[in-house]
Amino acid sequence: LDFARWLANPEHPLTARVTVNKIWMRLFGAPLVASVRDFGMKGQQPTHPEMLDWLARRFGHEAKWSRKEMIRLIVNSAAYRQSSATRSELADRDAGNQWLARQNRFRVEAEIVRDVALQASGLLCRKTGGPSVFPPVPADVAALSYANNFKWNTSKGDDRYRRGLYTFFKRTAPDPNLVAFDCPDASMTTPARGASNTPIQALTTLQNEVFHEAAQAFAQRLLAEEAANDDARLARAFVIALGRTPESDETAALKELLADSRAYYEKTPEAAAELAGEHRREEVSPAENAAWIATGRVILNLDEFLTRS
């Protein structure tokens, strides 16, 4: 109890400094103190010591140890709301962006990769609270990893599309989608997550059931909206997924893919029906449904879609 009181003492800055350093790291992709696990004599010095101390005091006093309050404070700051676009004059002066002349660019965390796909597709359930849920996992994984007393029964209805925050996590057999995107080992503490860039990740977002279903729903969302032509519908897809309109070369490449997909699926209606599954618009031809699913899947697999910039 004495130790707990010592840690939470508002006049004791260590706990608050460690906490705000981690919050900063989550929001900016890089901490104020690089040695996240060591704030002692052997740790590295903060890049912005006055900022760290000010945030720590704000966290322990005005914010009353509220993480939500600190996140709100930081994300409303001018530093956080900067573009991540690089500038030539900064290449030599601050290549590592230590002085925060721009925002950092980094891939979203493992739990959020699925969330952004569900958000773009319109499937995401925003319900809060409640028990853990069980999104789809590959059948062979469920058979091998959950073959004993515990069975992985895929959630139905809205629970199937709830945020990754609510996904059931079995320490000895985590969701393979999380593992693919560098989810840390739950059997030990991980002060800072690593980040990799592997072919497995691209194959996951292209072929995994979760992301395939998101592509199906994304296509139906686009087909449900009125659009004058393919260019307008592709522009809408970019706005939904990436928050911007496509460049002319991007539109040209996707129109070519769309045309090739239409031609292929018109010749193979069985493949079109299989690709569309249950997520299809009855008033749209199977080939059109399938072509937009194939095109939408490419957009949802772009590096820009999975990257916070």
DSSP labels for 148-163? SS-------GGGGGB-
Distance CA 274, CA 301 (A): 20
**Using an 8 Å Cβ cutoff, are 211 and 204 in contact?**
yes
Residue 173: what residue type? A
Question: pLDDT tens digits, the chain, 309 residues: what are they?
Answer: 998 888 888 777 889 999 999 999 999 999 999 999 888 888 899 999 999 999 999 998 899 999 999 999 999 999 999 999 888 888 888 888 999 999 999 999 999 999 999 999 999 999 999 999 999 988 877 777 666 677 788 999 999 999 999 999 888 788 889 999 999 888 888 888 888 889 999 999 999 999 999 999 999 999 999 888 999 999 999 999 999 999 999 999 999 999 999 999 999 999 999 998 877 788 889 999 999 999 999 999 999 999 988
Q: What is the pTM of this model?
A: 0.88
Which of 109, 308, 118, 84 lies closest to 201, judged by CA? 109
Which of 55, 53, 61, 60 lies closest to 73, judged by CA? 55
Both tokens assigned to 95: 């290549």
DSSP output for 229-285: SHHHHHHHHHHHHHSSPPPHHHHHHHHHHHHHHHHHHHH-HHHHHHHHTT---TTS-
Look at residue 279 in the predicted model and tell me its pLDDT.
75
3-state helix, strand, coil in the chain (%, to 5): 50, 5, 45
Cross-strand pairs, 162: 125
Distance CA 171, CA 91 (A): 42
Task: Count the Cβ atoms, other than its own, within 10 Å of residue 70.
Answer: 22
**Using an 8 Å Cβ cutoff, are 110 and 182 in contact?**
yes
- Burial class from Cβ neighbours inside 10 Å (0-12, 13-18, 19+) for residue 90 reads middle
Look at residue 147 in the predicted model and tell me its pLDDT.
61
The SS3 call for residue 309 is: coil
**Using an 8 Å Cβ cutoff, are 52 and 21 in contact?**
yes
Look at residue 17 in the predicted model and tell me its pLDDT.
93
User: Cα dihedral angle (57, 61, 66, 67), rounded to 10 degrees?
Assistant: -10
Look at residue 146 in the predicted model and tell me its pLDDT.
65
**Using an 8 Å Cβ cutoff, are 167 and 175 in contact?**
yes
Look at residue 79 in the predicted model and tell me its pLDDT.
94
Look at residue 308 in the predicted model and tell me its pLDDT.
86
